[in-house]
Amino acid sequence: GFECYGGDAYFDTQTWRVVKIVRKEWGGQFEGARMRTYTPSETPDQWEYMKFCFRSSLFTLVTLVDHLYGMHLQLSNQGVIALREQLSANHPVRRFLTPFTFQAISVNDNARNALVNPRTMGPRNFAFDDEGMQ
């Protein structure tokens, strides 16, 4: 199976180095989930792996939630719709903003078709099933 996303990283306030990472882990079918704390005192390979898991979780969150859903599928689409529906074709603000929204609908549609739909590149690149991508 896949590793779980998530975790909390705690930093030293003076050096900004990670001092611990807390992750939810599955203990097995009968034990359920439990929180486990990892520190630099773990074996070097295990500590590096936990930092890798945290960075991967953070990258996935920023890429999918903030960038894809937040910027492309919401803000960009709403901006183009508002521009087209509220301002006439000759309005100076619309003429000024048009180069910044050029091909936005096409880019967003391609992103939806390639990254969001079931059985596409998105669910295959990230550890989500079709339900997790909703």
Q: Residues 26-48: what's their mean pLDDT?
A: 85
Q: For 5-30, what is each residue's pLDDT tens digit?
A: 889 999 999 999 999 999 988 777 77
Q: Mind listing the pLDDT tens digit for each residue in 57-111? A: 999 889 888 999 899 989 999 999 999 999 999 999 999 999 999 999 999 999 8
Q: What's the rounded Cα separation, in Å, for the pair 38 and 67?
A: 29
Burial 95-130 (b: 16+ CB within 10 A, else e): eebeeebeebeeebeebbeebbeeeeebbeebebee
